[in-house]
Amino acid sequence: MDIEQEKSAIINWVQKLKDIGLIQKINLLKEESEKSRISSNPNSQRKAGDGKYLIEYIAEDFNEPLDHFDENYRP
C-alpha cells in the first residue's frame, strides 16, 4: 500500500469513529506533529514586530560612504 492509500484508509477510519477518547488522542497527535513542524522551521515562528527595540544605537555617519570602498576597489 502506498502513502496515499494509507492516508485514505486512515481518513475513512477516523470518519467512522465514535469513541471520543480515540478522537482526542488523534487530535493530540496532530497537535504534536504541527508543533514539531513549526519548531523545525524557525522562520515560521517569526511575526511582525519581533525585532522591535532590537537596534539600540545607529551612528550619525551610518549612511556615509566607507573609505575603503572606492570605484577601483576589488576584493
> Is the CB of residue 58 less than 8 Å from the CB of residue 52?
no
Domain that holds residue 31: 3-43
Task: Report pLDDT for 20.
Answer: 92
Tell me the mean pLDDT in the region 46-55: 82
Question: Per the domain annotation, does 68 fall within a domain?
Answer: no
Question: Per the domain annotation, does 49 fall within a domain?
Answer: no
Question: Per the domain annotation, does 18 fall within a domain?
Answer: yes
Burial annotation 31-50 (CB, 10 A radius, 16+ → b, else e): eeeeeeeeeeeeeeeeeeee
Q: What is the pLDDT of residues 1-34, one digit of tens each?
A: 789 999 999 999 999 999 999 999 999 998 888 8
For the ranges 9-13, 36-40, 43-47, the maximum mean pLDDT occurs at: 9-13
Question: Per the domain annotation, does 24 fall within a domain?
Answer: yes
Q: Look at the chain and report how many structural domains it folds into.
A: 1
Higher pLDDT pick, 40 / 24: 24
Q: Above 70 in pLDDT, residue 43?
A: no
